[in-house]
Amino acid sequence: MTRSAQDSHLLKVGELSRRTGKTVRALRLYESEGLLQPKCRSKGGFRLYGTDAVVRVYWIAKLQDLGFSLAQIRNLLSTVERSRRAPEAMEAVRELFRGKLEATRAQIARLSALERDLEESLAYLEGCRSCEEESAPQACATCSTPHVGGHGRPPALVAGLVRRAPAQEEISKP
């Protein structure tokens, strides 16, 4: 294959940026971190990447979405490259991914609890639309009006919104 035919399959950094949605600056950072390497340079000095660079950039982005830092990704690549056998290399990757899966599941559980809290709070606050009380907002934190979501007390996300007045016994303390 001639040099010009080879160049037609190579991507300049701008084209790689357009195909992956990553900025040229991000791609250069990946290169400086050792995560991405151009195949060669053009006669004009432009970095030229193979089409496999698109896959690599998507892979890096996916790992970043999972919460991996560029240093962690670099260490992962280094571990794989230092491994003598494929099963050994993939075991290290499996362990890393297994730990990330556990952390992701824990985060999902926390987010699900937050979702329930938000739904409960929104249902409670929906009742406030028809409130005819002319009291100060501080009264909302102790509202027990039946039309407000059927709760005797506001949900935690609402209760902390308004400062409660101190109880009588707290006022009389020196």
Judge whether 113 lies within some domain.
yes
Judge whether 170 lies within some domain.
no
- 64 and 87 in a single domain? The answer is no
Judge whether 172 lies within some domain.
no
Mean pLDDT confidence for 22-36: 95
**From CA 1, how far away is CA 105, in angstroms rounded?**
49
Judge whether 48 lies within some domain.
yes
pLDDT tens digits for range 41-89: 888 888 899 999 999 999 999 999 999 999 999 999 999 989 889 998 8
Using the predicted structure, report yes or no on whether residue 174 has a pLDDT greater than 80. no
Confidence (pLDDT) at 5: 44
CA distances from 98 to 88, 101, 102 (A): 15, 5, 6
- 55 and 102 in a single domain? The answer is no
List the domain range (segments joined by +) for residue 38.
Answer: 1-68
Judge whether 139 lies within some domain.
yes
